[in-house]
A and B are shown apart, each in its own frame.
Chain A
Amino acid sequence: QSVLTQPPSASGTPGQRVTISCSGSSSNIGSNTVNWYQQLPGTAPKLLIYSNNQRPSGVPDRFSGSKSGTSASLAISGLQSEDEADYYCAAWDDSLNGLWFGGGTKLTVL
């Protein structure tokens, strides 16, 4: 069981905007930056957003991240079929002294 809580599933139609939430506490999201990873079916995870809202080179600007207090969000605009994947948030927890991933959100493009 993770200290970061994500909804198990999300969905949207092509072109739509969807958001995925990640809820934590003062010892993790509240005091550290959040990263997001995308895992396409059958592949290794890929860094999608780092330091709350930064995109690595090559990641489309359709993907954006934000953080407020003890929660973070990943937004995907102009949803495409190839965005169908599992999405994980991650943050360091100062109390538990370790890195934690959220439970993951499976995004379905209808």
Chain B
Amino acid sequence: EVQLVESGGGLVQPGRSLRLSCAASGFTFDDYAMHWVRQAPGKGLEWVSGISWNSGSIGYADSVKGRFTISRDNAKNSLYLQMNSLRAEDTALYYCAKDSLPSVTTIFDYWGQGTLVTVSS
């Protein structure tokens, strides 16, 4: 059974940093691209970032480019999101999602339950 478990969320002050993690199991992690998608309270889905199976292809939404860094450790079956210079508008539930292919596509066939990030002073 595919499982994606996010962690690392919490309350953080504007301008500070936070690192999210996603522990994957139930599939061959290094065979697939992975993504982060967020959802602000009461709002819709927003793609944040995606990374190919070997980290050779990485993409970011314009809203986080230059502030967030996605990475993965295939030996640990883990996906990460380093978030710097956090803003109030980054407040959201952050989902880890599995791609259907090794390269970055738009087909996310499994999702975690999310970790909540709240940016507030």
Contacts and interface: CB of A to CB of B under 8 A. Distances in A.
Interface of A: 2, 32-33, 35, 37, 39, 44-47, 50-51, 56, 86, 88, 90-92, 96-104
A2 B107 CA distance: 18
A47 B113 CA distance: 14
B112 A47 contact: no
A47 B44 contact: no
A78 B97 CA distance: 30
A93 B44 CA distance: 18
Contact of A103 (B44, B61, B108): B44
A91 B114 contact: no
A56 B100 CA distance: 11
A104 B50 CA distance: 21
Given A101-B46, A102-B44, A104-B44, A96 B62 contact: yes
B107 A50 contact: yes
Majority-rule SS of B interface residues: strand
Interface string B13-42: 000000000000000000000010100000
B121 to A, nearest CB: 26
For chain B, the bracket of interface size reads: 20 to 34
Interface in B70-101: 95, 100
Interface of B: 35, 37, 44-47, 50, 59-62, 95, 100, 106-109, 111-114
B111 A44 contact: yes
B111 A97 contact: no
Contacts of B60: 98
Contacts of B112: 44
Nearest to A8: B44
Given A96-B62, A98-B62, A56 B109 contact: yes
Given A97-B59, A99-B50, A90 B111 contact: no
